[in-house]
Structure 1
């Protein structure tokens, strides 16, 4: 046999072993799967920008009727997608020790600023950091941040009120992103900026770059992280945060830390909580040391969670309010009643008691869950016992990726009838008792659920109170109805910019 023939056999063998054979993993152990492509798995349409990751998962969800879970492939790596709320509870709560970690989106050795944040930390590192950050999100601490958020919301509303126009064409995401930027700049970095009056301020420009998850660089890094080990990612310089972005935020944080240490100021925010932990570790050598890079990493994940996801949620809420006038009018009435009862002021206590506001935001999170799902990694092998006649015991091996399909469950008529309808009444006092447990989990589930959810919700409420008490939102010629999903990336994004008219009211 010729040398070329041997080389061809070797090449085909390698291709089969690494690209074809892995695509049979789920079928071999009795788990329903679709028809993955060689090498690309179920990601081929994501890679070429034909559909977003959430849509790919949703197709698999719908093609596996009457299944509690089904198998997919992230390139050649198996991914178990969980459909059943009871199984989600089992994985994220009851068997938490077996599924304690998130997948490594970017290892610390390749990108320390990303790899050291609370979302990415694993095992004992996560268990150490979570209690350090928790005090920053107690009701008492969030209440102290209320005035800072309200100031930023007032700045936004006053900016548009001062325009000599009765009707303003509003790019919702641009406005809400500037609001969330100013809030996070104050609370996570101790910096005061006004991104509407000064639209080109450096903090906002760098923040936009840091959160651009649709850029080619971030997309390439994200896909590469599925198939390459950390040392190769580092070798090729693949990371989520570019060096100049990291250096900018590092310098801003260092200036804030220096000012606080020198002046002895205390603001009761995230930085202060982390500084307290850092100081305690220096005094007690039995505690794990906390360096400035750790503080920067936590500030950055707090920034990303509060900047990007909250602004996108507000984007979808404003869209739904514009196209559902009766909902908007009812919410505005509740807001104006609160203002009247509190002498024209917005208070923390009054904001937290707004029932219809809670219903509107809850329904927005149901219809538009920004993360789209919950990911986990199996840290210790686990057996899923059969509960239906067509199931058999399935052993989830250590290292297997898991995905709890929040978007699909939130849009499943079995749990939420007429799911495409925006209906805040789903969350009134009576009907919300009927929601099946763990079928509504926009902030995740179990010990690794979102630590900042109360902070994020308060930030949404404050801005909506200020906007709707001064303006009416309505569709315009540029408003796309209905809105669809952006075809690139991993998160839930609108396919086009959401533009609405904002009319001044007396």
Structure 2
């Protein structure tokens, strides 16, 4: 009897785990047959391949269909490969795809309250609240703060730049410090202090998405959200949360009591909290005119007609969550870009030389004065180099949307697909950036793809390093500014070279992130 009961339980469990296996078959969408629990991600779970490699293989096989199915663990989701479909989902029909995957609301209490995970009206309100920090006026103020820090960084770098330099460690320390001072309003000690406690906290933030244990947490959540909740596990560890409470809530309290004001996120959150959530006027949002390089995305109006807030402005966790998101997003994006960009500049000496000559031209125009905000953003080849760096190594290898209102998508050739509420759609950013139909010879690092002569041929929807549409990365311009600033100063003073320990090729870690697997060591030779 026990044997038959066991067989019955196993059968029921199997049927439950494979209940969505014919989801795409019924809709006439190409897909690969999934395995129970892991879906199409077995090689990732076994850490044989990275997420990038898994998606790339399936993308090449199915891209002609414009859309294909992917089983991410137990979740069935659509992958769109056509730029027109991408524009439809991300821009034209945005009201049907306002939100990110709903799992983020439940998989971590802190992350679930961040701008990334907030949904519908609450997302619109928080986006309106945070957007002024990245206005043109505030960016210029932060630029002045970063310029002073860049000078201090070079002094410290001169002492450390001996022999082979681990550029990930170098730039992660730089990024942690500039994010601390310009966004959160406190001085970091990550560059000067090798054993910095702040740096240890920042490294643990980085591990939220790029560890094997994090992948297992997503797997457990995919099997059963109730089981995940009962386990009590969270993505963000307690030490990170405790640190963020200090730099957010305690800092807000200290500023209020001592009448301190700084142009940063903490100040903005304090003002909003004191105003009990009154929305700022639309003219206080970011001014695109001075910041619209090709590597940046277009900013969209996300204003709301609601007069009363749906957010609980007294909830400390709400503000801590925004600090967490801005810190981890700013840290990962800039560190990843600088690590991979300096690697490509070392490999491509001709590109490095051309960028150095542009930097020299700017220094001559400055007549010995520090580079200005305006001068940095007018550097055309610098923007081409940054844009190409973001194409080859996008900081987010995939972006997703979650259908909140049913819609029928036109697939062309008389075909259509009805998307119901609750279904996820993702864009494989890395695969699209490396598609030879969009970017010929895609593995070649060629900044001239983005020069004035060629950039008009780039199809909208085929280049999306920070996402696209109203829900694109809000802090992209800040990430670009601090990246351009440090590249400017480094190349003005050093020539970057490969060494015997520099990897011949970069690959990705076998996890859910876009982090580079290899240690990247480069040599910095002082210029005369």
Normalising by structure 1, what TM-score? 0.94
How far has the Cα of 1:3 moved from its partner? 6.0
Match of 1:464 in 2: 487
The Cα offsets for residues 170-200 of structure 1, whole Å up to 9 and x where unpaired, read as 1111010001100111133221023121121
**Residue 232 to residue 189, structure 1, CA distance change in 2 (3 Å):** farther
Per-residue CA deviations over 1:19-39 (Å, capped at 9, x if unaligned) read 334222101110011232233
Deviation at 1:219, TM superposition (A): 2.6
Is the 2:384–2:448 Cα contact (8 Å) retained in structure 1?
A: yes
Deviations 1:33-91 (A, max 9, x none): 12322332101111111112122111111011421010110122211110000000011
Hey, what does 1:367 align to over in structure 2?
392
Instruction: Decide whether aligned partners of structure 1 residues 503 and 396 sit closer, same or farther in structure 2, where only a CA change above 3 A counts.
Output: same
8 A contact 1:152–1:179 mirrored in 2: no
Change (3 A) 1:149 1:232: farther
CA spacing shift, 1:52–1:283, aligned 2, 3 Å = closer
1:272 partner SS: helix
- Alignment gaps of 5+ in structure 2: 280-306
- Is structure 2 residue 147 aligned with structure 1 residue 144? no
Deviation by residue 1:385-426 (Cα, 9 ceiling, x = unmatched): 34136xx43222221121111111110000100000000000
Q: Report if aligned partners of 1:106, 1:240 keep a CA contact under 8 Å in 2.
A: no
Q: Report the secondary structure of 2:70's partner residue.
A: strand
Partner of 1:35: 33
Query: Is residue 497 of structure 2 the alignment partner of residue 500 of structure 1?
Result: no
What runs of 5+ residues in structure 1 fail to find an aligned partner?
none
* Aligned pairs for 1:63-462 within 5 A: 63-107=61-105, 111-162=108-159, 168-212=163-207, 213-229=209-225, 231-281=226-276, 286-287=308-309, 288-291=311-314, 292-344=316-368, 345-388=370-413, 392-462=415-485
- Alpha carbons 2:220, 2:227 under 8 Å: kept: no
Give the C-alpha shift of residue 286 in structure 1. Answer: 4.4
Cα distance in 2 for partners of 1:310, 1:419 equals 22
After TM superposition, the structure 1 stretch with the greater mean CA deviation from structure 2, 81-90 or 180-189, is: 180-189
SS of aligned partner of 1:64: helix
CA distance in 1, matches of 2:351, 2:93: 40
| CA RMSD between the two structures | 1.9
Distance in 2 (alpha carbons) for counterparts of 1:35 and 1:283:
50
CA distance in 2, matches of 1:364, 1:282: 38
Deviation at 1:283, TM superposition (A): 8.5
Contact 1:117/1:298 (CA < 8 Å) preserved in 2?
Answer: yes
Give me the whole-angstrom Cα distance separating, in 1, the residues matched to 2:271 and 2:12: 58
Give the SS at the match of 1:300: helix
Is the Cα–Cα contact under 8 Å of residues 252 and 267 in structure 2 kept in the other structure?
Answer: no
Whether the 8 Å CA contact 2:220–2:228 is kept in 1: the answer is yes
Matched residues in 2 for 1:3 and 1:296: separation? 52
For 1:49 and 1:436, the matched residues in 2 are separated by 34
Moved more, 205-214 or 426-435: 205-214
Determine the structure 1 residue equivalent to 2:511. Answer: 489
TM-fit CA distance, 1:6 = 5.4
**Contact 1:378-1:402 at 8 Å conserved across structures:** yes
| Contact 1:80/1:403, CA 8 A, preserved across alignment | yes
CA distance in 2, matches of 1:282, 1:38: 46
CA distance in 1, matches of 2:422, 2:193: 47
